[in-house]
Amino acid sequence: MVEQFVDVEFGGQTVQVPKGGYYDRFRSNPDLDVVARDPAAGNIDFFRRIPKQKVSSRVGPVWAPNFYYRSSSVQLLMTAPIDRLAAALPAPLEPLRPLPAQGLVALTFFSYSVCDNDPYDEVSIAVVVRRPGAKGSHLGQLLGDIRRRNFFAHVLALPVTTEIAWTRGVQGYQLPKWLTPITVDIANEVRASIAATDGSPDLVLRAPAPAFKDVPSQSRLGANTMIHQVDGQWSQTVVQSNTLSYSQKLFPKGVTLSRHGGPMSDLLNGLGVSAMLRLDVVRDAQLVLNMPTPLKGSDMRGR
């Protein structure tokens, strides 16, 4: 059956979304009792403790936060020279330096199969940064972030596969998004890829199928915080996570990341990424994307 689309308005732009999909029916404010009857959504008790509110945004009133009922992801955490990372970050952001002369870059492929914005895929290249207002050693922050499962990063690229995801990300959050083909497949082998906008290969990641650990809902909560500017104001955007099935490998073996010369490959090359420190494969997780909130000026002063 050929999927049908309808036009909707967001942020002064007209975009297409699947007819009868979540955004077409609910406009980011779903009836959770209806979602609970969707077999593809799974158990959604996690979201019932996070009420949505209509809040002000740079595109007018919106319902927030945004819910991702089923998602999967593949992340490679890699090292890169600290001078290259510092040059890529806007002042006064500072790359985290847990190793001598080396910082951290995360390449993450996401697949959102059930969410308020309808299914889409996304790829992120982000530099792990010093937490705003942090004191003490960089290694101490990293160890604390690992323990709390709460990391801070500045996103340099965040391409997506659908018009609504692109428009919301650019208009609502001022994130560096564009439209391009992306695939994520977690099965007998882990495969993920992103193409350039002309369809030519950009990045291709392959890894052996890992052994997954399944955990009860809300037993492995975490958060990632994006530090970025919204209309010239430093802000933070928190993504809460409820991981249900995952695998982690330190110094992973058998992983290949092929770079074919597209914009994401060029970005990784420019950052000088090298050693693979950790591979995280999440087979099932629930996410909550909050709206940006302003940071205090004192938190963003250079140190």
Digit-coded pLDDT (tens) for 24-38 = 999 999 999 999 999
Residue 75 CA to residue 189 CA, distance in Å, equals 15
CA-based R_g, the chain, Å: 19
The contacts of residue 253 (CB under 8 Å, 6+ apart) are 208
In a domain, 32, yes or no: no
Does the residue 234 lie in any domain? Answer: yes
**Domain of 92?**
65-300
CATH number, domain of 187, equals 2.40.400.10
How far from 51 is each of 42, 59, 206, CA to CA, in Å?
Answer: 19, 21, 38
Task: Give a yes or no: residue 120 inside a domain.
Answer: yes
pLDDT of residue 269: 98
Q: According to the model, what pLDDT value does residue 298 have?
A: 57
- Residue 172 DSSP code: I
The per-residue pLDDT for 2 is: 62
Q: How many domains does the chain have?
A: 1
| pLDDT for residue 301 | 60
Low-confidence ranges of the chain (pLDDT < 50): 302-303
Is the residue at 150 inside a domain? yes
Instruction: Please state whether the peptide bond connecting residue 51 to the residue before it is cis, i.e. omega within 30 degrees of 0.
Output: no
CB 158 within 8 A of CB 170: no
Specify the pLDDT at position 144.
79
Cα distance between residue 38 and residue 131, in whole Å: 38
Q: For residue 34, is it within any domain?
A: no
Count of Cβ atoms closer than 10 Å to residue 205 Cβ: 21
Answer for the pair 167, 153: CB distance below 8 angstroms, yes or no. Answer: no
Tokens standing for residue 283: 């087979």
DSSP sequence for 195-256: E-TTS-EEEEEEEEPPPPEE--TTSSEEEEEEEEEETTEEEEEEEEEEEEEEEEEES-SS-E
Any domain includes 51: no
CA-CA distances (angstroms) from residue 288 to 120, 147, 167, 223, 237? 15, 20, 18, 9, 11
Distance, CA of 213 to CA of 282 (rounded, Å): 10
- Structural tokens at position 294: 């302003």
Report residue 168: phi and psi, to 5°.
-60, -40
DSSP 239-280: EEEEEEEEEEEES-SS-EEEE-SSHHHHHHHHHT---EEEEE
Q: Is residue 92 part of a domain?
A: yes
β-strands 221-230, 120-128 pairing: unpaired
134 assigned to some structural domain: yes
pLDDT at 254: 96
244: Cα separation from own chain's centroid: 17
